[in-house]
Amino acid sequence: MQTLALDTYPIRIGPVAESLTLTLEQQPFSQLFVLADENTREHCWPRIAPALEQYQPILIEIPSGETHKNLRTCEHIWGQLMAHKATRDALLLNLGGGVIGDMGGFAASTFKRGMRFLQIPTTLLSQVDASIGGKLGIDFMQVKNSIGLFRNPQAVLIDPAFLDTLSDRELRSGYAEVIKHSLIADLSQWESLQQITDLRSADWAGIIPASLSIKKQIVEADPFEKGLRKALNFGHTIGHAIEGHALETDTPLLHGEAIAIGMICEAFLSTQQQGLPEAQLRQITDYLTARYGKAALRPDDYPAYLQLMGNDKKNEGQAINFSLLPEAGKVVVNQTAGESHITAALNFYNSL
């Protein structure tokens, strides 16, 4: 087992039964609740249930998917906690991907002014992205994570074996965040990722800690997203808007699929505004389109994208805020772009 020690909690990487037993022995609690969706209940719960049997856990199930990351689902979670007379001394174990982790942590942090929680991320996206930083929340009025807070878990337990339960599409979605980490902070990792041709055979036991180390350095330097931490938003200003709009259509996009589009668009902005070399723009574009294909962005939807970008929580004043690349492996934060430049970036993507 590997341990990545943060200031306030550990991230343990290795077999989940071992890390879970160790963690619960160090956490006194009155009751144990487990939050899962129908997928993690079927595929992941059986992997941890034997280690929890002595604690008589109470399973709370919610429907899967970003469309359920809202107050109505939180009401269900809070209702189940109330029905079982949970106190602030109880412990909530969030078993699932980013939706479960974000919403479960939010529900726990606001229940009776805060009960403790553990994260067991079961998707690549949640393992490399949501497991560091304590950002919790839900979506509201199509704006992702617009209601939430910062609060750290007691621990994060990562088992790469859970990746075997993912579809190829889900695995590819999570991989977008690995790509992002390398593009903003580690040129050598970006170059090594380009040698990966099959995600199923990738060395996740090596890739996940390397990706987490990048995020750890950034988050510890800026825990409340006042400056440097905004670097992690590369690809997300445009990507989140596309993702939020697509959720209301018959063809929703997974988070990583939308972020891949956002990284292409924001790499184009980086070329225009930060001098990202054209050769690196082509390299980024070719790599992402080869792995994620091309989505059809309708120009009629551009105003909706711009409106959602205008509501992004990272903005300051009326300006739309970006993190851009002067070159692969480096990033600058608090860069703004006007509607005409953003439209040009969307058109660039559509022209590929």
Residues carrying an active site annotation: 113, 135, 177, 215, 225, 229, 233, 236, 240, 255
CA-to-CA distance for 313 and 237, rounded, in angstroms?
Answer: 10
Q: What backbone torsions phi and psi does residue 92 show, to the nearest 5 degrees? A: -105, 125
* Distance between CA atoms of residues 34 and 228, nearest Å: 34
Q: How far apart are CA 75 and CA 97, in angstroms?
A: 20
CA–CA gap between residue 88 and residue 140 (Å, rounded): 26
Render 184-237 in DSSP notation, one character per residue: HH-HHHHHHHTT---GGGS-HHHHHHHHHHHHHHHHHH-TTSSSGGGGGGTTHH
- DSSP assignment, residue 89? T
d(CA 93, CA 76) in angstroms, rounded, equals: 16
Measuring CA to CA, which residue among 11, 3, 16, 4 is closest to residue 163?
16
Residue from 154, 32, 41, 169 nearest 89 by CA: 32
Nearest to 94 by CA among 138, 53, 164, 36: 36
